[in-house]
Amino acid sequence: MSHPHQSMLDEFKYAFDHFVPTLPDSIKDEAKSIHSKLLNDQSSDEVAIKKVFHDLGIKEYPHRKAYEELTLEKGAARLIELVLEHVDASVIKIIKPHLDSGVSLNELVSSDMFDTKLTPEERYQIEDGVLVGKSKLAEELKGDISDQSDEYKNLVEKWTKNAEQIDLAINKLKKLEQSGTADQKQEIENKVSRFREGFLLTERDPVLLEVEKETEYWADTLSQE
């Protein structure tokens, strides 16, 4: 019997199958253990699973971002090649001119064009291509990046502070729920949930400025009412 939220658990497994190689084994083992427990607990609901996405994601996030920063410095052009090899010709026709003009993969995935000019299936191809490409690139660069290097440790510290700032900003947004109507509360809850889920590598990374703008919008809206 499959789990009531099997698709979410499959996404979770896909995430830890694509963890960066520099992620500490303790976090990898914790992810696998929690996934197994959730899979065997038919009563685990969407709220509990999303909380795991956040709690584990925020631990994994600094290592992933540090590794990606080092990896992309060493192989940004190669990653684009790997992504273009992964997607259909119709997708290449849309995205290659942007990439050729100097737009990065991260900028492409975060752009309005990504949401408006591509179908859900095409967006999935690119997102999957990025994950697969990063895994292949990691294999190609194996040995070039060490989790024991000072450069890597400094980047982990930088991204840990960034994650903490984002999390504080999300919590500030959540507090605004108390001042809204039922509909407003639900809308803020949805935003908070989306931002928190973003720490999982299969989702779009939360961006501090975006969280702060959302908080500013709701603070202004609720104060006027």
pLDDT in tens, the chain (225 residues): 678 778 888 888 888 888 888 889 999 999 999 888 888 888 888 888 888 889 999 999 999 999 888 877 677 888 899 999 999 999 999 999 999 998 888 889 989 889 899 999 999 999 999 989 888 887 777 666 776 678 888 999 999 999 999 999 999 999 999 888 999 999 999 999 999 989 988 888 999 999 999 999 999 999 887
DSSP, collapsed to helix, strand or coil, labels residue 23 as coil
Q: Which residues contact 87 (CB under 8 A, 6 or more apart)?
A: 95, 122, 125, 126, 129
pTM: 0.70
Cβ atoms of 94 and 118 within 8 Å: the answer is yes
203 within a domain of the structure (yes/no):
yes
pLDDT at 20: 85
Residue at 68 is within a domain? yes
Residues 6+ apart with CB under 8 A from 80: 99, 105
Instruction: Give the domain extent around 148.
Output: 6-224
Residue 91 belongs to some domain of the structure: yes
Residue 27 placed within a domain: yes
Q: What integer pLDDT is reported at residue 100 of this predicted model?
A: 92
pLDDT at 165: 97
Task: Count how many domains the chain has.
Answer: 1
Q: State how far the alpha carbon of 94 is from the alpha carbons of 66, 113, 123, in Å.
A: 30, 10, 11
**Integer Cα distance of 74 and 165 in angstroms:** 28
Decide if 51 is inside a domain.
Answer: yes
Instruction: Judge whether 171 lies within some domain.
Output: yes
Is 54 contained in some domain? yes
Length reported for the chain: 225
In a domain, 1, yes or no: no
